[in-house]
Structure 1
Amino acid sequence: MSLVSVIVPVYNVAEFVDSCLKSLLGQTYKDIEIVVVDDGSTDNTPEVCSEMSRRDPRIRVINQSNRGVSAARNKGVSEARGEYVCFVDGDDIAHPKMVERLVRSLESAHADVACAGYERFTSHYVPVDLPHESASCTFSAQAACSELLYQRIPNGPWAKLFPRVVLADVPFLESLRLGEDLLMNFDVFSRSAQVVVLEEPLYGYRQREGSTMRTVRTSDRRLVVEQLEHRVSPVLSDAFANRIFAEALYVAFEGRIAARSIRFLLHKYRRTVVKDSKSLVQLRIYALASYIGVSVPAVIHRWKARIR
């Protein structure tokens, strides 16, 4: 069996990290090490993690000053010993068969990367019953990058299995608090021969106030757009147009529609989004609405939020 390093960045998640680590210790795939990187927590997260590491030697705890989740993940990769690496956030929960199914699918498909789905939860995570065999699709590097840009493969680094040697060469961008996972995934997929994608949700993603995704900076989204535009290739131009339009739309939703750069991006890419049959239906609707006025998509978004 190949050793899998599960990297867990933690920051002030004392309330949740016990459940997270227990879900990893309970994996049906036993040849794992759990590398916990504490990113300068100010609560008792380090104590909880250290106590659990004393109970099970598969857990290693590394402490660093607060530098952000990307730096914590990069530190975990540098300390990992496994042939493969997967990531789990300290407030989330892994399905008991997550690692087993990822490894099995990767090896069966002779792929370089394995990806699975996830389920959102708020307080209680209940793992789904899995079929005996995993349903999956295998993509070339180009096709996998396309699926990622079209938002059919989730951005998150979690619920995925990567070769450690590749991650060592493609670190997370530490200057970003948002979108660093999208860029890392794209760069890793680009270097892969094949990527296998499982249909099953093998990860529990906790939604809570105060998480990184709820405290993002608009400037981060603009940096993501810049990074995406640096990566544009002719063969994936429509897929890139879709993703860049989506990122610009998120900025508009956050009330920054007046920014000239955002208006320019919406104008530049909306025609491609509308004409592209691969675009998400909702994204095409927003693109069409922008022809009425570039502020209209944000109005529709706020209206949808009120009626939920």
Structure 2
Amino acid sequence: MGNVSVVITSYNQNEMIREAVDSVRRQKLRPDAIIVVDDGSTDPASVQVLDELEQADDITVIRQGNAGPSAARNVGIRAARTDCVTVLDGDDRLLPTFLETTVGLLDGDASVVAASGWLRTFGVLDAVVKPTGGTITDFLSRNACPATFTFRRTVWEACGGYDESMRSGFEDWDFCLSLLAAAATAADTTATGQEPRIAIAPEPLIEYRTAPASPNITSMDKRLETMRYLINRHHAAYAAHLTDALLGIEATSIARLNLWERTVREHPALLESQPDSRAFMASPTYGDGGMAAAARLRS
């Protein structure tokens, strides 16, 4: 056993929840507990799967009324009795070395408060996504850790857990900020010389399901609104690292503009075939590098 529990949250996910459980059972490092928290599933097929899982000796199923993913995770983590906890969404899967790798990262470095790995996506997108992790400054302009990760239970307690009022996405980003801020408050960074950080193993450790209606995709519609909430909630961190936060956003903006420019150079027909590209070239944006990019493309 690895002194780690896995909390899987589910809501009307049918056979996908069984796939998530089976991926935990296949781990090279066996967890001490597998806790499935059902957030009020109403679909009969999903309820049937949960009923069957409840009969297994190695699984604890907790059922609650629909309260959102944050509340479901907190309930599962509260039920865990191990030093480390892994959270896993019920429609995703762990690759066999996830627990071994993430628990190893936590055991090997006291400054690491949480750990995860790259994502191998499947469904509508077939790709390897490579989040970078880091200290709190790396998380101010974007989320740098997957929602599936392993963390120290003591830090979850110190930060107050997931924000249960967040039901429209980005609650995992908020939780990472809370974890890092709580760890920084508790740690003597002057003695260790290291800020608390979230470590990412440079290899795919998660199979991440992508679908047009998945919460992580639909939540992008409310990104600006959610960003305002995050900044207000973590105002002290943003104020203390304002330069890093702004430069992080600027770096992302420049990278996306450069990617678009390279793509158009390689495929010039896009300038005429895409209405948005035609509109941009006819009236480039000002003050954000847009006009310079348009001029380069015409030169």
TM-score (norm: length of structure 1):
0.69
> Counterparts of 1:51 and 1:89 in 2: how far apart (Å)?
19
The 3-state SS of whatever aligns with 1:114 is: strand
2:178 is matched with which residue?
187
1:205 matched to 2:208? The reply is yes
SS at match of 1:112: strand
Aligned twin of 2:105 = 105
Could you tell me which residue of structure 1 aligns to residue 191 of structure 2?
A: none
CA contact (8 A) 1:170 1:184 kept: no
Contact 1:179 1:221 in 2 (8 A): no
The separation in 2 between residues aligned to 1:50 and 1:68, in whole angstroms, is 21
Give the Cα separation in 2 of the matches to 1:13 and 1:239: 39
Q: Residues of 2 paired with 1:126 and 1:217: CA distance? A: 19
| 2:231 equivalent among 221, 228, 235 | 228
Q: Distance between the aligned counterparts of 1:172 and 1:293, measured in 2?
A: 39
| Residue of structure 2 in register with 1:282 after alignment | 255
Give the whole-Å Cα distance in 2 for the aligned partners of 1:66 and 1:95. Answer: 29
Paired amino acid for 1:117: W
What residue identity is the alignment partner of 2:176? Answer: N
Shift of 1:163: 1.1
> What SS does the aligned partner of 1:210 have?
coil
- Give the share of equivalent positions with the same residue, in percent: 26
- Residue of structure 2 aligned with 1:161, choices 138, 150, 156: 150
Identify the residue that residue 70 of structure 2 maps to in structure 1: 70
Q: Which residue of 2 aligns with 1:33?
A: 33
- Aligned residue type for 1:190: A
Which one-letter code corresponds to 1:180 in the other structure?
E
Q: Hey, what does 1:148 align to over in structure 2?
A: 139
The structure-2 alpha-carbon separation of the partners of 1:219 and 1:116, relative to structure 1 and needing over 3 Å to count, comes to closer
CA deviations over 1:103-143 (Å, ceiling 9, x no partner)? 1122122333223221111189999xxxxxxxxx9x8xxx5
Q: Does 1:18 align with 2:9?
A: no
The counterpart of 2:245, out of the listed 234, 240, 249, is 240
Structure 1 or 2, whichever has the larger Rg, is 2
TM-score normalised to structure 2 length: 0.71
Name the counterpart of 1:175.
165
Q: Deviations over 1:184-226 (max 9, x none)?
A: 1011022335333311121011002332123338456414323
Contact 1:2/1:83, CA 8 A, preserved across alignment: no
The match for 2:5 is 5
* Partner amino acid, structure 2, of 1:101: T
Q: Cα distance, 1:242 vs. partner?
A: 5.3
**Which residue number in structure 1 is paired with residue 217 of structure 2?**
214
Question: Closer, same or farther in 2 for the Cα pair 1:51/1:8, shift >3 Å?
Answer: same
Within the alignment, does 1:292 sit opposite 2:285 as a pair?
Answer: yes
Contact 1:3 1:31 in 2 (8 A): yes
Aligned positions, number: 249
Counterpart CA distance in 2 for 1:107 and 1:291 is 51
Q: Which runs of 5+ in 2 are unaligned?
A: 188-195, 262-279, 291-299
Q: Distance in 1 between matches of 2:239 and 2:231?
A: 13
Q: Could you tell me how far 1:279 is from its partner in structure 2?
A: 4.3
Aligned residue in 2 for 1:94: 94
Cα distance change of structure 1 residues 284 and 189 upon mapping to structure 2, 3 Å threshold: farther
